[in-house]
Amino acid sequence: MRNWLPLALLATAPAWAQEEVPFITTPDQVTLAMLQAAGVKASDHVIDLGSGDGRIVITAARRFGASGLGVEIVPELVVQSRANARRAGVAQRVEFLEQDLFRTDLARATVVTMYLLPEVNLQLRPRLLALAPGTRIVSHDWDMGDWAPDRTLTIDVPDKAIGREKLSRVHLWTVPAQVQGLWCATGAQLEITQRFQAFSATLTARGQAASGQAAPVRVFDGRIEGARLQAVGVHGDRLQWQGGALQQDDGRRFVRAGAAGCP
């Protein structure tokens, strides 16, 4: 038997009760705000984790032309979602699967939407952070602990069914490229420390670093926006200055250091 406790109560309930999230729908205006915050467009593939009656994925297809997948553990809701998609005329672009969200392959997603619980968001967090840089994550009401959102919107929901606050929060994250570590270029090396979207990079002239002399070092901090660190583009294991921040380094290409450091 499912535990249909209000979401607000489950948020403080013991772990055994948080294995499941009850079915509570995202109001239409919040659904729209979530999809707009993520900038959903026709080329996007939206995955809703715990898709309920399918409304988020169906709206993404109907209003923005996106394709989508909803995964939902309650079979009746999957049947209802498919019927809703047919009625909305988007059955060709969306799919609903009866599936555990924790066993869902997220690789195709360009946008992930969630209306779950804080603990569930935190459990999903490592998998979300491993998605392609630039993937947008939108969560209704619940955040992801110390992975601060890039943006939070507050929307009045006078008829909200749960909680004392008659409003919803929409949190948006853009998955940052993983750039932590040492990067090497001809004549220079770059040591980057990263905490989610924030980075601190130290650029050192390599000949001097290796000889133990005091190397000219420049330290700069900034934010990672998807696959870009401000003036630096990240392409898998390559990183390239693209102008602006450090003019004399423009066009310089760095590759990830091997186990032995920079050659």
Ligand X SMILES: C[S@@+](CC[C@H](N)C(=O)[O-])C[C@H]1O[C@@H](n2cnc3c(N)ncnc32)[C@H](O)[C@@H]1O
Which spans of this chain sit near ligand X (rule: CB under 6 A)? Answer: 20-21, 23-26, 48, 50-52, 55-56, 71-74, 77, 100-102, 115, 140
* Minimal distance, residue 80 CB to ligand X, in Å: 10
Degrees to nearest 5, angle at CA 179 with 174 and 183: 155
* Minimal distance, residue 31 CB to ligand X, in Å: 7
Q: Which is nearer to ligand X, 56 or 179 (CB)?
A: 56
State phi, psi for 14 to the nearest 5 degrees: -65, 165
Cβ atoms of residues 21 and 32 within 8 Å: no
Q: Which is nearer to ligand X, 161 or 219 (CB)?
A: 161
Q: How many CB atoms lie within 10 A of CB 109?
A: 24
- Closest residue by Cα to residue 186 from 241, 250, 235, 254: 254
* Minimal distance, residue 197 CB to ligand X, in Å: 25
Q: Which is nearer to ligand X, 6 or 236 (CB)?
A: 6
* Minimal distance, residue 101 CB to ligand X, in Å: 4
Q: Which is nearer to ligand X, 14 or 212 (CB)?
A: 14
Question: Cβ-closest residue to ligand X?
Answer: 50
What is the distance between the alpha carbons of residues 239 and 237, in angstroms, rounded to a whole number?
7
Q: Which is nearer to ligand X, 52 or 149 (CB)?
A: 52
Degrees to nearest 5, angle at CA 254 with 106 and 129: 20
State phi, psi for 238 to the nearest 5 degrees: -120, 150
* Minimal distance, residue 104 CB to ligand X, in Å: 8
